Structure 1
Amino acid sequence: MGRLTTHVLDTARGKPAAGVKITLYRISGQSHRKIAETVTNGDGRTDAPMLEGAALTAGRYELVFAAGAYLRDTGQAAGEVLFLDEIPIRFGVADAAQHYHVPLLISGHAYSTYRGS
């Protein structure tokens, strides 16, 4: 059974990023359809997969991480305009039977991602 999971790590503080809002969209052409929304727990993870089973189908998706609010709350960013605010990660699912893990590693001025396991 396929599933999509994520987590957020704060690389500047060396700990999980709790309280980050994450929104998942399905991308089709120029259309973005919101299909899930959650907030990271104390371990920087979601309490359940973003998608699993029949809900995960082949196609293009986008996770949007509301990093700006988290960075403000932790004192790593201030002001009206932030260098990093909402961080979109667009990715493809070719085989919906697989596990796709798409984590976000953040600090006040940088982020990265990878396909995890």
Structure 2
Amino acid sequence: MSQLSTHILDTSLGAPAREVAVTLYVLHEKEWLQLASGITNNDGRVTDLWEAGATMPHGLYKLHFDTQEYFERNFTTSFFPFVEIAFYINSHEHYHVPLLLSPFGYSTYRGS
């Protein structure tokens, strides 16, 4: 299993947000470097943003979610063209970063 996973729930529909592009970045010397990308599956999840079994170096990371394309595909007007969530990796534990999404708001938390 990857040390990092994410999923998106469209709270306006009460359903997973499918086929959303997600990109992982790390902050390195004041510059965001792209590390990986994926697309949410039918359950709204991306489980393989980091190599299974490999440990992520400690540091500041962010996930970029391309929400505009998702809402346009669903014929929905949205206020946010994308969502970015920055977070620290500072242990070897599993990190799950969920996104609760609606056309005019979002929230997140550290999941398990």
* TM-score normalised by L of structure 1: 0.88
Distance 1:26 1:5 in 2: 15
RMSD: 1.6
Unaligned runs of 5+ residues in structure 1 are none
Pairs aligned (count): 111
For residue 107 of structure 2, what is the amino acid of its counterpart?
Answer: S
| CA deviation after TM superposition for structure 1 residue 54, in Å | 3.1
Distance 1:99 1:106 in 2: 22
Alignment of 1:1-117 (within 5 A): 3-46=3-46, 48-51=47-50, 52-77=52-77, 83-95=79-91, 97-117=92-112
| CA deviation after TM superposition for structure 1 residue 55, in Å | 4.7
Decide which moves more: 1-10 or 98-107.
Answer: 1-10
Percent identity between the aligned chains? Answer: 41
Describe the SS at the equivalent of 1:115. Answer: coil
Structure 1 consecutive aligned stretches of length 4 or more whose deviation exceeds 2 Å: 52-55
For residue 37 of structure 1, what is the amino acid of its counterpart?
Answer: S
Distance 1:108 1:2 in 2: 29
Distance 2:69 2:43 in 1: 17
Unaligned runs of 5+ residues in structure 2 are none
Distance 1:99 1:56, change over 3 A: same
* TM-score normalised by L of structure 2: 0.91
